[in-house]
Amino acid sequence: MAILELQNLKKYYATHKAVDDISFSIPEGSIFGLLGPNGAGKTTLLRMITGIFYPDSGEILFEGKKFNPVDDIPKIGYMPEERGLYKKMKIGEQALYLAMLKGMNRSDAMKKIKEWFVKFEMESWWNKKVNDLSKGMGQKLQFVTTVLHDPKLLILDEPFSGLDPVNSNLIKDEIFKLAQKGTTIIFSTHRMEQVEEICDKIVLVNNGKKILDGSVKQVKDDFKEHIFKVGFDELPASFSSAAFDIVDSHEKSFNVKIKDGNRPADVLQEFLNYNAAIVSFNEVLPSLNEIFIKVAGRKES
Amino acid sequence: MNKIWLIIKREYLTRVRNRTFILSTILLPLFFIGFIFASAYFSISSTEKQKVAVSDSNGIFKNSFQSSDLISYQYPSDVTADNFKEKGYSAFLKIPENYNLAGDSISLISTKQLGMEAEDKIKDQINDAIRNQAFLKNNIDKKILDSINKMNEDQSYKFRTVIKQGNKTEQSNSGLSYGIGYGSGILIYMTLFIYGAAVMRGVMEEKMNRIAEVIISSVRPFQLMMGKILGIAAVGITQLLIWIVLIVLLSSVATSFFSADALQHAQAINTGIGAAGNSTAAMNFLNAKSTFLSANWALIIPCFLFYFLAGYLFYASLFAAVGSVVNEDPQEAQSLMLPITMPILLSFIIMTTAVGKPDAPISVWGSVIPFSSPIVMMARIPSGNVPVWQLLVSMLSLIAGFILTTMLAAKIYRTGILLYGKKVTFKEMGKWLFRR
């Protein structure tokens, strides 16, 4: 079942169309990537999903029903791209305040905060102020305040920006754990390479329009160009074949593009006939970044 | 509703726990009372006796000057303008030889200021003496003159103003109502700026920290704005109430101290012994206190609290709207605040007229129209002649006014709080007002 379904969503500003007729649905329990360059309309889209903005037209369905901010907001956790905390407020109080604003009662909130503070080794921070924290510590706190109320839908806008690799992994692990427990996660970013390892499904937006969606694997399959990388102990001398073209040659490998009507096995066969010392053979799938550049370029021209 | 309450609580507690708040709340009344009583105290007790040497070679003014506890006159013959200091006098009063009453000037020479009270007294006595001399010169019988002067002293004439409304009469004191009107007008003017600016700074802080976006994903923007406005209103009322209580407490402690002092002096007058100067000051003080208590506080205090709160609500949402559209640049806030500060300043100017002429058309209109009514009406109320219907119209239109400003400001706030890095013009804000 889709936890969230967007139907023909539009939001126009005076000067540009921030979100222009976007529809997609997000299956429950998936990790969903919302991709696009800066200014593509991701933040506006997320603000409509979190009830901050009203769409000009179109429909948002949450758990199959029309999205109603008052009832549905407590089920959503949103970490905006621009992180924000009260600088002079104590950390414990701040977490409690934000949790209670999400509708938790005091004792539940306290229990949850303690759990997460222990998990992230933040117990000793309780009486510190945000001003006294490093940027990475602030990010951790921000993440904790976003997930305290056990949201069904967790929306993370650029969650790893400014985090060191250790904390980055810590948060990534927690995201996976939450997903395993059934939380649906929307992960918005312009850094496509982060998405490949995390997301099940993606949507690519540019200039307010959706350019493609699907599972990461499927998208890559759709855009693959039948390029294989063949690794050698020693690079064979000049080589030409009816079955493939060499598109790129490296120190100890070729990238070859298979011609129509041939199979990967034909490539291997040719090299074996030639007695080349093959050590590896694998398909080169396009990165999401390459796909994006290709698709965005095509749309524009 | 529950969430707005959480926001109010946070806004209130973070401000009330703040050290600056605690200090200013306690120190201001102490300073205020201390200042009033210190000046009252010094006016009573610091009466250093001034010895004045009079050089009156023709003897015109002989016996005209009466020494008092403030000044003692002496007529030594060997004192001149050059040596009065060495002879132990604090001033030298030089009456020219062959003084002819009309043209010549009398000069008072001293090494330092004698003080206003002493100088006034000397001037009065010279005037009296000259007038007496003039009467005598024009053949007015000395006996008649003495009896007139005596009458003047015995029955120092009494004047009082009385307000008559229906069959209810009460004593009025226009000086007092002027003072109270002016004071409460200024107090509302100041608090509008102080708490209004606090709202604006709070909104700017939330926008710049980007916490606004986090919170707005939990509550409606309107709840966040109103929570802040009401929280700061509660801080303002707390502060005012503490000030009122502290001022009443401190002044009653201080007056009891003064009253004892004044009573002694009053007894001294009855028994006919000395110290006339001291006791008049103390009596003045007691009179002032009783007139002060005669003001219609039962009307003034509730009205003050109403106009403080409603006036604050009228302007606070506008300050919030300005705070929401400002980016990092404080200069921007200055120019955007102009449309809010202008009406407040204008109200202040109308108020200065209204305290003196509470029934002038500008005062009446100013006290009814919402943007100026909080300040101007408080200037009129102490005078006691604001008709009930005007008060009601003023209050109702102020309530309607703040509902309207809050609705308009909420529309600007909703958009502005999430708009980063872009300078907003008034024209754009105008467009936001008419958007869904």
CA dist A4 and A45 (Å) reads 13
Say if residue B129 is in the same domain as residue B202. Answer: no
Query: Which of the two residues, A167 and B103, has the higher pLDDT score?
Result: A167
Looking at chain A, how many residues does it have?
301
Q: Which pair of structure tokens corresponds to residue B71? A: 């000044």
Residue B73 lies in domain: 50-152
What is the pLDDT, as a whole number, of residue B251?
73
Query: Which of the two residues, B223 and B331, has the higher pLDDT score?
Result: B223
Query: Which of the two residues, B52 and B14, has the higher pLDDT score?
Result: B14
CA dist A280 and A288 (Å) reads 24
- From B97, B122, B152, give the residue that closes a domain: B152
What is the pLDDT, as a whole number, of residue B275?
43
| Chain A residues near residue B206 by CB distance under 8 angstroms | 84, 86
pTM comes to: 0.76
The amino acid present at A86, given as its one-letter code, is Y
The whole-angstrom distance between A146's CA and the closest CA on chain B is: 9
| Chain B residues near residue A157 by CB distance under 8 angstroms | none
Say if residue B320 is in the same domain as residue B342. Answer: yes
At residue B107, the 3 state secondary structure works out as: strand
Residue B157 lies in a domain: no
Which H/E stretch holds residue A34? strand A31-35
Phi then psi dihedrals of residue B40, to 5 deg: -65, -40
Say if residue B104 is in the same domain as residue B222. Answer: no
Using CB atoms within 10 Å of the CB of residue A173, give its burial: 0 to 12 exposed, 13 to 18 middle, 19+ buried: exposed
% of chain A surpassing 90 pLDDT: 13
Residue among A54, A76, A86 whose CB faces B211 most closely: A86
Beta strand A31-35 pairing with A184-189: parallel
Substitution target from B218, B414, B434 for chain A, most A beta carbons within 10 A = B218
b/e map A236-272, b = 16+ CB within 10 Å: eeeeebebbeeeeeeeebbbbebeeebebebbbebbe
- From B99, B121, B152, give the residue that closes a domain: B152
What is the pLDDT, as a whole number, of residue A47?
87
| Chain B residues near residue A97 by CB distance under 8 angstroms | 6, 10
What is the pLDDT, as a whole number, of residue B154?
56
Q: Find residue A245's DSSP bridge partners.
A: A257
Residue B158 lies in a domain: no
Of A155-164, B101-110, B293-302, the one with minimum mean pLDDT is B101-110
For the segment B358-363, the average pLDDT, to the nearest whole number, is 87
Please give the radius of gyration of chain B, using alpha carbons only, rounded to the nearest integer: 31
Confidence bin at B427 (pLDDT 50/70/90):
confident
| Chain A residues near residue B215 by CB distance under 8 angstroms | 98, 101
Torsion sign (Cα): B281, B287, B293, B296: negative
Contact residues of A toward B, CB < 8 A: 14, 47, 50-52, 54, 69, 73-74, 76, 78-80, 82-89, 97-98, 100-103, 142, 145
Tokens 């004047």 correspond to what residue?
A: B159
Say if residue B228 is in the same domain as residue B271. Answer: yes
Residue B7 lies in a domain: yes
The amino acid present at A70, given as its one-letter code, is V
Give the pLDDT confidence of B182-197 residue by residue, as tens digits. Answer: 888 898 999 999 999 9
The whole-angstrom distance between B287's CA and the closest CA on chain A is: 51
Residue among B209, B217, B418 whose CB faces A78 most closely: B217
CB contact under 8 A, B6 and A145: no
Say if residue B403 is in the same domain as residue B292. Answer: yes
Q: Is residue B103's pLDDT more than 70? A: no
CA dist A70 and A64 (Å) reads 16
Which H/E stretch holds residue B297? helix B297-325
Residue B324 lies in a domain: yes
Query: Which of the two residues, B181 and A234, has the higher pLDDT score?
Result: B181
| Chain B residues near residue A142 by CB distance under 8 angstroms | 214
Which of A230-234, B148-152, B219-223, B331-335 is the most confident on average?
A: B219-223
CA dist B323 and B406 (Å) reads 14
At residue B266, the 3 state secondary structure works out as: helix
Query: Which of the two residues, B319 and B262, has the higher pLDDT score?
Result: B319
Confidence bin at B131 (pLDDT 50/70/90):
confident
DSSP label at A123? G
CB contact under 8 A, B217 and A88: no
What is the pLDDT, as a whole number, of residue B173?
64
Please report the beta strands in B42-194, taking only residues with DSSP state E, as ranges in sequence order: 50-55, 71-74, 91-94, 107-110, 161-165, 168-172
Of B13-27, B223-237, B325-339, the one with minimum mean pLDDT is B325-339
Say if residue B189 is in the same domain as residue B335. Answer: yes
b/e map B378-408, b = 16+ CB within 10 Å: bbbbbbbebeeebbeebbeebeebbeebbeb
CB contact under 8 A, B217 and A76: yes
Confidence bin at B261 (pLDDT 50/70/90):
low
Say if residue B105 is in the same domain as residue B21. Answer: no
Q: Is residue B6's pLDDT more than 90? A: yes
For the segment B337-363, the average pLDDT, to the nearest whole number, is 89
Average pLDDT, chain B: 80
Residue B62 lies in a domain: yes
Residue B164 lies in a domain: no
The whole-angstrom distance between A56's CA and the closest CA on chain B is: 10
Q: Is residue B41's pLDDT more than 50? A: yes
Say if residue B320 is in the same domain as residue B407. Answer: yes
What is the CATH classification number for the domain harbouring B115? 3.40.190.10
b/e map B154-174, b = 16+ CB within 10 Å: eeeeeeeeeeeeeeeeeebbb
Say if residue B132 is in the same domain as residue B209. Answer: no
What is the pLDDT, as a whole number, of residue B329?
75
- From B152, B183, B218, give the residue that closes a domain: B152
Residue among B209, B215, B431 whose CB faces A101 most closely: B215
Q: Is residue B166's pLDDT more than 70? A: no
Taking CA–CA distances from A90, the nearest residue in chain B reads B14
The domain total for chain B is 2
% of chain B surpassing 70 pLDDT: 78
Residue among A50, A69, A85 whose CB faces B211 most closely: A85
Tokens 């030889």 correspond to what residue?
A: B97
Helices (H), chain A: 42-49, 69-72, 91-101, 106-119, 135-147, 165-180, 192-198, 216-222, 264-273, 288-300
Contact A39, A208 (CB under 8 A): no
* Number of inter-chain CB pairs under 8 A, A vs B: 57
What is the pLDDT, as a whole number, of residue A186?
92
Residue B380 lies in a domain: yes
For the segment B85-99, the average pLDDT, to the nearest whole number, is 77
What is the pLDDT, as a whole number, of residue B347?
93
Q: How far is CA A205 from CA A35, A54, B210, in A?
A: 6, 19, 25
CB contact under 8 A, A98 and B214: yes
What is the pLDDT, as a whole number, of residue B44?
56
Q: Find residue A35's DSSP bridge partners.
A: A189, A204
CB contact under 8 A, A84 and B3: no
Residue among A14, A50, A83 whose CB faces B210 most closely: A83
Q: Can you spell out the DSSP letters for A8-23?
A: EEEEE-SSSEEEEEEE
Contacts of B162 (CB under 8 A, 6+ apart): B169, B170, B171, B172
Q: Is residue B277's pLDDT more than 50? A: no
The whole-angstrom distance between B229's CA and the closest CA on chain A is: 17
Residue B100 lies in a domain: yes
Give the pLDDT confidence of B290-329 residue by residue, as tens digits. Answer: 666 667 778 888 899 999 999 999 999 999 999 998 887 7
% of chain B surpassing 90 pLDDT: 24
Q: Which pair of structure tokens corresponds to residue B418? A: 């999430």
Which H/E stretch holds residue B234? helix B221-270
For the segment B225-240, the average pLDDT, to the nearest whole number, is 93
Say if residue B14 is in the same domain as residue B84. Answer: no
Contact B398, B367 (CB under 8 A): no
| Chain A residues near residue B211 by CB distance under 8 angstroms | 84-86
Confidence bin at B272 (pLDDT 50/70/90):
very low
Which of A131-135, A275-279, B336-340 is the most confident on average?
A: B336-340
Q: Is residue B82's pLDDT more than 90? A: no
Give the pLDDT confidence of A28-46 residue by residue, as tens digits. Answer: 888 999 988 877 888 888 8
Say if residue B69 is in the same domain as residue B205. Answer: no
CB contact under 8 A, B6 and A101: yes
Residue among A84, A89, A98 whose CB faces B212 most closely: A84
DSSP label at A90? B
Confidence bin at B67 (pLDDT 50/70/90):
confident
Q: B297, B304, B301, B296: which is closest to B188 by C-alpha? A: B304
Of A42-51, B65-74, B321-330, the one with minimum mean pLDDT is B65-74
CB contact under 8 A, B217 and A83: no
The whole-angstrom distance between B352's CA and the closest CA on chain A is: 41
Contact B176, B294 (CB under 8 A): yes
Give the pLDDT confidence of A3-25 residue by residue, as tens digits. Answer: 888 888 888 877 778 888 889 88
| Chain B residues near residue A73 by CB distance under 8 angstroms | 217-218
Q: Is residue A241's pLDDT more than 80? A: no
Q: Is residue A104's pLDDT more than 80? A: yes
The whole-angstrom distance between B218's CA and the closest CA on chain A is: 6
What is the pLDDT, as a whole number, of residue B168?
53
What is the pLDDT, as a whole number, of residue B273?
45
Confidence bin at B170 (pLDDT 50/70/90):
low
| Chain A residues near residue B212 by CB distance under 8 angstroms | 84
Say if residue B252 is in the same domain as residue B328. Answer: yes
